[in-house]
Structure 1
């Protein structure tokens, strides 16, 4: 229920980053229509005023109107419900700038190397290092909040090596294909695959995103890599529902992410672990928030800051984020091209960059919608410091089409070199680093 409310607030506060999306559950068995119909009614009631659209059952013909490339043999009909879709990279950047506008200090490419302690041996700050300059930093605080996701236990152990782990990391893999495999604006949702998992095929930035897996892993990596069995599972399961079964040659990009699930004693499968968040305070006084999911990020932050304020004995203050507009909240979308819509009001500034330098209005690559001006904007205004920052964390180029991202990387490096005053050695090192990372997004034939 909380997730449904937060989803509605996210649409309200960041309409430039969130849109509604129809999910269709195809029915091939006689019992699926009444079963899913009952579930959708409950979903509709729970969503209430926060719902994105009316759920209903679909005829066979209506199902194929939504999903024209769906396998037709045995198809009886479907069920449609509405959920939200957002651009996670853009939301993260816009949230950071919203925090800055509220008085936060942002430190990009600064790594925490340890904690400091007071006379009572409680954590009262962090030691850090600027990755670029090598400068050592120290920041003191009444409360230190560990919000490092899948890496939460690393910082906890640096404060107290004896702590028991909180995180049970799980890997999820996605494959990206051409929109030919799923034309239109509706997604496929398969609630029960052959091994009990859930599969989605979703329209995403003019492509199709298919996933996901839920694979327990021993430890989290900064650059997780898809396992062969995960890739084969997605390909084979997608082939059971799509008229044209996708193959390895059709994969434009493959990527993996890590879920910071909260460990539960006696649970073997990460698929059974709760996606709810917890706030944990170690004996050292270090506060850790972990678990949760993107949809409930605001509620997680509210709970965490309220707890931190209590620990720090600060005056009570009501939370303001429930109705706080996210940076870029559009006053008007008049004159904003669709490709720049995710920037919200910042799109006008990017258009001004293009007006001053028309060549920056050119595409970086014919296969993707990103403009040269976006590279310049990212370097000037969004703290992009690497080629990877631009192609993976400001745009979604690497995730959409890894080969195209590699081909546009030299142009991106040239533009960033001009903005950040890189010499040739730095530029070539940036390109080499990006090629190493991008190799993991390419699927060997």
Structure 2
């Protein structure tokens, strides 16, 4: 019986491999583009908000085009704390509306993408007499606000129970703790699955397509965009009834394109995360530090068999696609973390450090960025440019629904209710094998099929990590990976987990991708050199690659 079920499932996935996957192949999309077509919606930006909006719009039957200047989720959307949560600190701020919305969306995410969104237990250790009651009562309210979508009940722990869950934490003055439950996910894997889901609903999505101009009619109303294909250099003119600016920290660039006198809408804040060996905490529970030296919370949580720690909050003026962690930020996390762990991590223990920029809505009066709400904001200009900014990963679906509702009203589009609250995301499956391929959901079977057909693809890219060469082929063929960075940073998370291991895997990744994409040795060398240079930003100290070819390229 199990064998028949597996065979039926394979038939379904093989059918999708032969047909639907064309909807998410860049070359295929470009070959079918009709430049005379008038889109209902053009979305600029392929992060969480843009991809969610593309899925919402296309699932309502709207003709949808999404253009992303780099790779999908290249920026902020790949650099989160990997949490699906209501936001305990927003509860403390009294922002009950945001917490209620986020808790509802948390419940929907775990239903619609069960292969990527999981429940995770958190512990707040208590070192003062009333700490656990103070935080525990607040978290009991948090539970109540989640209503039927609550995970499990918050519990008070005594000292022994706390240590049984977190054996590596500081024992001095520990009197117990609070156990509560929230969600965890892989942000970029969800972004890729959202893009695939939107494509399956009829949307056209293109990465490495930069919008260079907004087209307008004689009444100065936006009628579409001019965009450049970064790969070929070709320029395209696309017509649309509505244009949506969903570019995160870069929304002001598009707003300036529309109106050079526009006052900035976004205030950016940089947050960094450190990745350490899991031995520093040795737990399947997450540690929540409720009050750091700057008044924020700090998380240390298990993620892909490693320990992820973050985040900081540093106001920045420059908005970069590839921001770098500051030494002061790294020191801040290490200094706050060492108060809670028996084994103190240092810079030499950091496997990877990554930085991301939060697009926070500019307040009416000056505030520190940690005080700015994560509520999203929708605006429309006189030229009918819709801009969506703010928010957070957990509320991406609600943000998208609100944006499409607004677009329908603004562009007088065909009205249809949102369907995404119960729309399963590409790959959705309850099947859990314990294999690292579980993050691919129902696509895992197809990747294994690739490996079975070619024993060479069953090999690991790096002996210390389970990433298979078959995954490189899959990403290049079916997940629109165009560079080795796309694969090592986002289709898999190797760069984020261990930057040195990712650098060592760059050469083999380039060779495999070049074969799939039809690229030459010059492309390979260019890719390896660029990746090594970029990946050094993920390490506190420079690293010399072990691959001979990589060393030769690096020294040229």
Which category of TM-score, normalised to the shorter sequence, fits these structures?
over 0.9
Match of 1:131 in 2: 230
Structure 1, 336-345 or 381-390: larger mean CA deviation = 336-345
Cα drift, residue 197 of structure 1: 1.6
Match of 1:157 in 2: 256
Match of 1:407 in 2: 504
**1:32-74 superposed Cα distances (whole Å, 9 cap, x missing partner):** 0221121121011001211122111111111111111101011
Is 1:309–1:316's contact at 8 Å kept on the other side of the alignment? yes
* 1:166 maps to 2:230: no
Q: How does 1:8-19 map to 2 (within 5 A)?
A: 8-19=107-118
What SS is found at the alignment partner of 1:188?
strand
* 1:98 maps to 2:197: yes
* 1:388 maps to 2:485: yes
Kindly report the root-mean-square deviation, in angstroms, between the aligned alpha carbons of the 2 structures. Answer: 1.1
Match for residue 323 of structure 2 among 224, 229, 233:
224
Match of 1:71 in 2: 170
Cα drift, residue 337 of structure 1: 5.4
What are structure 1's unaligned runs of at least 5 residues? Answer: none
* 1:147 maps to 2:216: no
Match of 1:313 in 2: 412
Report the Cα distance in structure 2 between the residues aligned to 1:215 and 1:364, rounded to whole angstroms.
35
* 1:208 maps to 2:307: yes
Match of 1:187 in 2: 286
Is 2:119–2:151's contact at 8 Å kept on the other side of the alignment? yes
Match of 2:346 in 1: 247
Report the Cα distance in structure 2 between the residues aligned to 1:69 and 1:166, rounded to whole angstroms.
44
Is 2:384–2:410's contact at 8 Å kept on the other side of the alignment? no
Cα drift, residue 333 of structure 1: 2.2
Report the Cα distance in structure 1 between the residues aligned to 2:195 and 2:298, rounded to whole angstroms.
31
Is 1:160–1:284's contact at 8 Å kept on the other side of the alignment? no
Report the Cα distance in structure 1 between the residues aligned to 2:503 and 2:541, rounded to whole angstroms.
15
What SS is found at the alignment partner of 2:210?
strand
TM-score where L is the length of structure 1: 0.98
Cα drift, residue 127 of structure 1: 0.6
Larger relative contact order (CA 8 Å, sep ≥ 6)? 2
Cα drift, residue 421 of structure 1: 1.4
Structure 1, 355-364 or 147-156: larger mean CA deviation = 355-364
* 1:259 maps to 2:381: no
Is 2:140–2:153's contact at 8 Å kept on the other side of the alignment? no
Cα drift, residue 109 of structure 1: 1.0
What are structure 2's unaligned runs of at least 5 residues? Answer: 1-99, 543-556
Report the Cα distance in structure 1 between the residues aligned to 2:294 and 2:102, rounded to whole angstroms.
26
Cα drift, residue 329 of structure 1: 1.2
Report the Cα distance in structure 2 between the residues aligned to 1:267 and 1:30, rounded to whole angstroms.
36
**1:403-432 superposed Cα distances (whole Å, 9 cap, x missing partner):** 000001111111111111111111000000
Task: Please list every run of at least 4 consecutive aligned residues from structure 1 whose deviation after the TM superposition is greater than 2 angstroms.
Answer: none
Report the Cα distance in structure 1 between the residues aligned to 2:303 and 2:361, rounded to whole angstroms.
29
**1:238-272 superposed Cα distances (whole Å, 9 cap, x missing partner):** 10101011001100001100100000021230000
Match for residue 147 of structure 2 among 35, 41, 48:
48
Report the Cα distance in structure 1 between the residues aligned to 2:132 and 2:404, rounded to whole angstroms.
44
Report the Cα distance in structure 1 between the residues aligned to 2:387 and 2:295, rounded to whole angstroms.
32
Report the Cα distance in structure 1 between the residues aligned to 2:179 and 2:304, rounded to whole angstroms.
21
Is 1:40–1:56's contact at 8 Å kept on the other side of the alignment? no
Report the Cα distance in structure 1 between the residues aligned to 2:204 and 2:377, rounded to whole angstroms.
25
Report the Cα distance in structure 1 between the residues aligned to 2:455 and 2:159, rounded to whole angstroms.
49
Report the Cα distance in structure 2 between the residues aligned to 1:272 and 1:75, rounded to whole angstroms.
30
Report the Cα distance in structure 1 between the residues aligned to 2:414 and 2:195, rounded to whole angstroms.
25
